[in-house]
Amino acid sequence: MKRITIDITPESVADLLARLPPEQLRLVLDNLSHKIEVREWMRLSEAGFEEWLAEPDLYGDEPRSR
């Protein structure tokens, strides 16, 4: 099957979503909400890990290498 790429704007996505029946729109929004929450937790954990790596290793003999 051939792939097709379509450039769409956020406004056109919002217009398409507004055409969905309420129950389907609720499902889409719940799914998006979950994906956004997962992405935010991943970003926070990556930032925390970077901070942890920047701390000196108090118990090791050698400094941490990245």
- List pLDDT tens digits, range 20-58: 999 999 999 999 999 999 999 999 998 888 878 887 877
SS3 of the chain: CCCCCCCCCHHHHHHHHHCCCHHHHHHHHHHHHHHHHHHHHHHHHHHHHHHHHHCCCCCCCCCCCC
In this predicted structure, what is the pLDDT of residue 58? 73
Domain boundaries defined on the chain:
11-54
Residue 62 confidence (pLDDT) above 80? no
